Chains A and B, each alone.
Chain A
Amino acid sequence: MRRRDYLGSFELMVILALIRIGEGAYGVPISREIEERSGREVALGSVYATLERLEEKGLVSSELGEPTAERGGRAKKYFRVTGNGLREVRDTQMILKKSWKGIPQLAGGKA
């Protein structure tokens, strides 16, 4: 069997946010999307560290935009999910679904 790294939960949240946002995804909307879904404050530094790691794995690609005045002259870095990234998410979804099945303690949404 081929050795592979599974997506961590935060990595999965970041990729799902990227897929949901689609075009024009950069740090701010990505972190806001995760915050809205999880209900917790997200550190932009953690989001970027995760995106960098995902990019190294070839699951995400990025390109630099133009610098703008309202950002203090800094350019936005746009991210999007690659084909490999989409495949990885589907695989993870499948594995999680299989793992979820047949656990009575998790049925009905009660702890």
Chain B
Amino acid sequence: MERHTTVSRGESVRDSQPPIIATYLLDHFNSSPIDESIRGDLVEEYALGRSSMWFWRQVLVVLVLSFWKEIRTHWLLATRAIFIGWGVFHLLQFVAWAVLLRFHLWTHVYFSLLRFLGYGIGIWFAWLILWAPIWIASGWNVARLNGSHKVAMVLAFSATVLFWQLHRMPWIVHLFLGASGNARYIPQLVVEITNLILPSIFATTGGLLGSHSKRDDSPQIARIAT
């Protein structure tokens, strides 16, 4: 007990909230039951004067450890989640193409975007509006089919999406080297980098939308209030 009081002694309690994005990540991207206590400890330490950088470091360690533990413990579920995610992606891709080509919708959308946005951005945006819903739906399905382990499973699927997108790296490196001597390469480089990371972000977003992982704190808050 003595140690407990030493922690609080001589340290002023800060009133400000911990970094919002880090807190959001902690709330939505971890799945270990013990993390509730960790979050309380982090909030307490931050109130006692720890820096935002410290808070971020701690949150990242918690997220990595909880993700790794979930995957290691439920590796069969993770394998299934990855297959489901990619299966849904290919199915939706097939259906989307069939529908769009059948009704010539894609041609209309594609050329309208080219006309309004110009050639480079137009093509990029056209692909974005085609692929974004498909990636989101894939992540959504992974979340819906994985019960209490959905966070880790969605992240596992998103990680494979990012890994798959790494096939763009040689081209990105080529553009990067070109951009250092010629500014004309920069827009294409930006487009390629966003194409590298956006699919996994969309898949993760879909997973978040599909999960009911939002922690309901109201009972605890109510207990404190009374």
Chain A residues engaging chain B, CB cutoff 8 angstroms: 20-29, 31-33, 41, 43-46, 48-49, 52, 64, 66-77
Given A44-B62, A73-B217: A27 in contact with B224 (beta carbons within 8 A): no
Beta-carbon contact of B7 and A72 below 8 Å:
no
Partner of A45, one of B2, B44, B62, B224: B62
Which 6 residue pairs across A and B have the least CB separation, nearest first? A74-B40, A71-B40, A27-B41, A45-B62, A77-B37, A43-B61
27 sample A-B contacts, Cβ–Cβ < 8 Å, listed by A number: A22-B1, A24-B1, A26-B37, A27-B38, A28-B45, A29-B4, A29-B6, A41-B57, A44-B38, A45-B61, A45-B66, A48-B34, A48-B62, A52-B34, A68-B40, A68-B224, A69-B224, A70-B44, A71-B44, A73-B217, A73-B224, A74-B36, A74-B37, A74-B40, A75-B36, A75-B37, A75-B40
Beta-carbon contact of A29 and B61 below 8 Å:
no
- Total number of residue pairs linking A and B with CB closer than 8 Å: 101
Contacts of B69 in A (CB 8 A): 49
B16 nearest CB across to chain A (Å):
13
Complex: A84 Cα to B96 Cα, angstroms: 61
> Chain B 175-188 against A: per-residue CB contact (8 Å), 1 yes, 0 no?
00000000000000
> Chain B 205-221 against A: per-residue CB contact (8 Å), 1 yes, 0 no?
00000000000010011
Beta-carbon contact of B3 and A70 below 8 Å:
no
Beta-carbon contact of A48 and B58 below 8 Å:
no
Given A67-B220, A68-B224: A45 in contact with B43 (beta carbons within 8 A): no
Complex: A12 Cα to B125 Cα, angstroms: 55
A83 nearest CB across to chain B (Å):
21
Partner of A70, one of B47, B61, B220: B47
B51 nearest CB across to chain A (Å):
11
Given A24-B1, A28-B41, A44-B58: A74 in contact with B34 (beta carbons within 8 A): no
Partner of A24, one of B4, B35, B44: B4
Beta-carbon contact of A49 and B65 below 8 Å:
yes
Contacts of B41 in A (CB 8 A): 26-28, 31, 44, 71, 74, 76
Chain B residue at smallest Cβ distance from A77: B37
B167 interfacial by beta-carbon distance below 8 Å: no
Contacts of A73 in B (CB 8 A): 40, 217, 220-221, 224
Complex: A46 Cα to B40 Cα, angstroms: 15
Contacts of B2 in A (CB 8 A): 22
Partner of A21, one of B3, B43, B45, B223: B3
B42 interfacial by beta-carbon distance below 8 Å: yes
B39 interfacial by beta-carbon distance below 8 Å: yes
Q: Beyond A44-B42, A44-B61, A71-B41: 17 further Cβ-contacts under 8 Å? A: A24-B3, A27-B41, A29-B6, A33-B3, A43-B57, A44-B38, A45-B66, A46-B61, A48-B37, A48-B38, A70-B13, A70-B47, A71-B40, A73-B221, A74-B36, A74-B37, A74-B39
Given A24-B3, A33-B3, A52-B34: A76 in contact with B61 (beta carbons within 8 A): no
Chain A CB count within 10 A is highest, among B44, B54, B217, for B44
Complex: A47 Cα to B32 Cα, angstroms: 14
